[in-house]
Amino acid sequence: MKIEVRDLEKSWKEYTLTNDNGMQVNVLNFGGIITKMLVPDKAGNLENIVLGYADYKDYQTNPNYFGALIGPVAGRIANSQFTLDGQEYKLENNEGTHHLHGGSTGFHQVIWDVEPFEKVDAVGLVLSYNRDDGEGGYPGNVDVQVTYTLHQNNQFEISYTASTDKTTPLTLTNHSYFNLSGNLRHSLHEQHVSIDSDQFVELDEELIPTGELLPVDGSPFDFRSARPLGDGFNASTDQNRVAGKGIDHYFIFNENDKETKVTAADPVSGRKMTVQTDQPGMVMYTSNNLAEGLELQEGMSRQYLGVCFETQASPASLHHEGFPGVVLKPGEVYQTRTLFEFGVL
């Protein structure tokens, strides 16, 4: 187990976590961005399974949020406004008339304080950031800690902790794009995914939740049994169409005692990933709107090249009843974790 640090420009640093199996995770202090994740296939070959830029300077803008920590609120806030305790707050419009992923001053755009740690069976990083009251239009001084832990058994854990001195919306996630084929060898079409979810959230033409929950039964969004992702995003329903011929929807996890909420596998490489989380749901995004022509580490970008599993609560709860809430109050502690475990078929 080891940790290495490389100094880049603009006070940026890149941390490399490696376990004794050779699994490796690279992280920037800028945006908490995961730039690379090397995982063995069925033959033991270590290859990168996340999308990342060939030139780290491209993370400065990073419109696709590759690998980034997302906050204060992951997802879209309708009309860039919300009301808490009788007071209305207006946020930046950074996607049409709506507010996406914390805006231009979101957590993906800040330099985090990083404290590396080493244990007998794990190495990791504690990332800390103190958001000032009013920053980005959000209320409250908020202290945030995000811990990345690479375990010896090829588990990668992200745990989030936060507190505030004013009532404020908060739901954090990581925006890594996974492609288990390794080194972007194939698109997502034949990669198999299962999701422990009976319901997903209906979107309008601007990708804003309508307030309606739809049953997955009989739809392209039914991943209760593992199936190729292409079966889901190649469908021609209205919900696929509004998402840019794909999936960019919030799935509400079923309430049960299952720790594993998502599985993903690539039948060619044999890589398998399971996602365990205590979050109430997640956005699955199949990179429908990923533009062509971006220089990535293993080639050029194209549609359907990576899938995001954005475990989080739902910002739709700021405008609709019946959605997992995102409001954090003084005296409360925001605490959640998501664990990615890697193996082979």
Please name which of 132, 76, 79, 71 lies closest in space to residue 102, comparing C-alpha atoms: 71
Catalytic residue among 99, 175, 192, 249: 175
205 is catalytic: no
Structure tokens at 153: 């058994």
Taking the C-alpha atoms of residue 121 and residue 93, their distance in angstroms, rounded to an integer, is 44
Taking the C-alpha atoms of residue 109 and residue 263, their distance in angstroms, rounded to an integer, is 30
> Span 273-293, mean pLDDT?
97
> Span 5-19, mean pLDDT?
96
Per-residue pLDDT band for 12 (boundaries 50, 70, 90) equals very high
Q: What type of residue sits at position 15?
A: Y
Q: In this predicted structure, what is the pLDDT of residue 166? A: 97
310 is catalytic: yes
pLDDT at 21 over 90: yes
**How is residue 290 annotated by DSSP?**
P
Q: In this predicted structure, what is the pLDDT of residue 233? A: 87
Taking the C-alpha atoms of residue 188 and residue 223, their distance in angstroms, rounded to an integer, is 15
Q: In this predicted structure, what is the pLDDT of residue 234? A: 86
Quick: pLDDT tens for 207-266. Answer: 999 999 999 999 999 999 999 999 998 888 999 999 999 999 999 999 999 999 999 999
> Span 97-120, mean pLDDT?
97
Please name which of 150, 146, 145, 128 lies closest in space to residue 25, comparing C-alpha atoms: 150
Quick: pLDDT tens for 38-91. Answer: 999 999 999 999 999 999 999 999 999 999 999 999 999 999 999 999 999 999
Q: In this predicted structure, what is the pLDDT of residue 104? A: 95
> Span 181-192, mean pLDDT?
97
Give Cα separations from 33 to 66, 112, 146, 169 (angstroms).
7, 10, 12, 22
Give the containing element (helix H, strand E) for 61: none
> Span 289-301, mean pLDDT?
95
Q: In this predicted structure, what is the pLDDT of residue 15? A: 98
Quick: pLDDT tens for 115-157. Answer: 999 999 999 999 999 999 999 999 999 999 999 999 999 999 9
Catalytic residue among 310, 319, 320, 332: 310
Q: In this predicted structure, what is the pLDDT of residue 10? A: 86
The full set of domains in the chain, from first to last, is 2-344 (2.70.98.10)
Q: In this predicted structure, what is the pLDDT of residue 295? A: 97
Find residue 117's DSSP bridge partners: 124
> Span 155-179, mean pLDDT?
98
Share of the chain above pLDDT 90, in %: 98
Taking the C-alpha atoms of residue 160 and residue 162, their distance in angstroms, rounded to an integer, is 7
Note whether 207 and 77 are within 8 A (CB): no
